[in-house]
Amino acid sequence: MIYDHIVVGGGTAGCILATRLSEDPGRSVLLLEAGPEYPDFEALPDPLKYGWGMLNLEARKAGGPFNWSFTGKATPQQPEPMPVPRGKAMGGTSAINGQTFIRGAPEDFDTWAAWGNDDWSYVDCLPYFRKLESDEDYSGDFHGTEGPVPVRRHHRDTWPPAQEAFYQACVAAGYPDFPDVHEPDSTGISLRAENNIDGVRMSMALAYLDPNRHRLNLTVKAGVQVLKIVIKGQRATGLEVESGGDRFTVEGSEIILCAGAVASPYLLMLSGIGPADHLAEFGIPVVADSPGVGQNMRDHPNVTVRFSVKKGTYDDPNGMRALRLRFSATSTKTPNDMILSPASMNTVIAEGDDPSHTINCGLYLATGKGELRLTSADPHVQPSMDYHYLEDPWDRERLREAVRKCVGLLEDPAYAGIIEERTAPRDADLVSDQTLDDWLLRNVSSSFHISGTCKMGPDSDQEAVVDQRLKVRGVEGLRVVDASVMPDVVRANTNVTTMMIAERAAEFIKQGI
């Protein structure tokens, strides 16, 4: 059988795209996912089902069954590889992530449009953000109330003491109180929106795919790893796949990579689409010389300020993250390029009854770029990822400012009865810019928001891998639809923007463009 569309990857974009395309009964759609699937909600393992506390950690445990367990290089100052968790189950990373439901800033999309992607301005993208969400708390021009993805917030009467103290400290420091993070002009201290219902992580498998599995024109196959795109002439005609120890070929009129910002560029290069000189290193015949594949790797460099709390204030075993502070660095004209995000327990490295709390300090519009490259022509060998964090002096300057602001907030009287001790950074790390830079370079890590590795752009952009309709340049019948097509990372967690990209791509395909 030759399918009309084969969607590679059952993650955020793949679940959405397969669901939307199969709304047309005249289209045959095949969705392939390398990880397991659990169409029966009762059989869904707890680490995938519940999106808080220790179960969040269990879902993305390195070497676990639901994580590809990629690793990357953060800086030369860190001898150990940096974990890069990516979901390996139906739902992809939306099945293991922290469920932060925050869109990119309006300026992000207007910048994409200014760079030659004129179909991607904020005004163009807003209807698709509204289409996908069902917001319990807000309505109006900037919100959706009938979409498949539920949006919720933790309101003030539910906050544990450290979250309340953070709010009070931010207001006392003069930051505006702007609860609705999706208002275009919002900044300052806002409520963190999330796609979670009563503790259940609403992955895109649950929100989109599972309610529509009954469609006769939608075929869903889990446990199938794609090894290579089959290309005849300059047209993609199918995929070489592996399942249960067997290898075979599936055929489709259109191949759509939704494998994510790691696996989509990886599959393109394994299939002969990428930088010609790099492919030659591994004896891969060049189908299309595309220098941007794997380049422009964007993320949000992140460091964590940690503190222990006094006995009696550790009362949130689920690690609530109710708030986030967004602000502009002193040296920038770009709004909201910095973020502080508190968690009322350490949901990154906590083990057992750990009383430590964290505030993540994120650089949300970094100048630096990383790169993803092959290490072998064997599709079972992971690629290398060098993030090149904080090589740019301005990136270091802004992240230093975020850490110092965070430390200053912890000194507010609201925290007086809460904090026992700040454990990182230590006072010695804050003595000078140089000592703080040294600490940053040793501790900076990923926010798990990798994007941009198959960027979209006009013909004049030599680094652009896809056009603004997400078609791969140089090969017919092939698109990429996931976070890898972002020209630059957005000033927010990337999951919701990836949802929007999939919704928008579905409309392009339905319109035949």
Which of the residues are catalytic? 449
Among 192, 170, 168, CA closest to 181: 192
CB 187 within 8 A of CB 178: yes
Pairing verdict, β 288-289 and 273-274: parallel
Distance CA(93)–CA(260), nearest Å, equals: 9
Instruction: Report the half-sphere exposure of 270 (CA within 13 A, side-chain side).
Output: 23
Look up residue 305 and give its two tokens. 């300020």
Look up residue 37 and give its two tokens. 């699937």
Please name the residues in contact with 413: beta carbons below 8 A apart, sequence gap of 6 or more: none
Helix, strand, coil percentages for the chain (3-state, nearest 5): 30, 25, 45
| Residue 101 one-letter amino acid | F
Distance CA(98)–CA(79), nearest Å, equals: 27
Distance CA(210)–CA(37), nearest Å, equals: 10
Look up residue 146 and give its two tokens. 């009938």
Distance CA(344)–CA(192), nearest Å, equals: 13
User: Which helix (H) or strand (E) element contains residue 151?
Assistant: strand 149-153
Distance CA(450)–CA(453), nearest Å, equals: 8
Query: Distance between the two ends of the chain, CA-based, in angstroms?
Result: 24
- DSSP designation for 233: T
CB 10 within 8 A of CB 92: yes
Q: Is 172 helix (H, G, I), strand (E, B) or coil?
A: helix
CB 257 within 8 A of CB 267: yes
> Looking up tokens 């791969």, which residue turns up?
472
CB 155 within 8 A of CB 144: no
DSSP-assigned states of every residue in 276-333:
HHHHHTTTPPPSEE-TTTT-SBB---EEEEEEEE-TT----TT----EEEEE--TT-S
Distance CA(71)–CA(75), nearest Å, equals: 13
Distance CA(30)–CA(500), nearest Å, equals: 21
User: Which helix (H) or strand (E) element contains residue 338?
Assistant: strand 338-343
> Looking up tokens 């996908």, which residue turns up?
132
Q: Is 445 helix (H, G, I), strand (E, B) or coil?
A: strand
Which residues sit opposite 133 in a β-bridge? 149
Integer angstrom CA distances of residue 259 from 9, 231, 265, 274, 481: 5, 18, 9, 16, 8
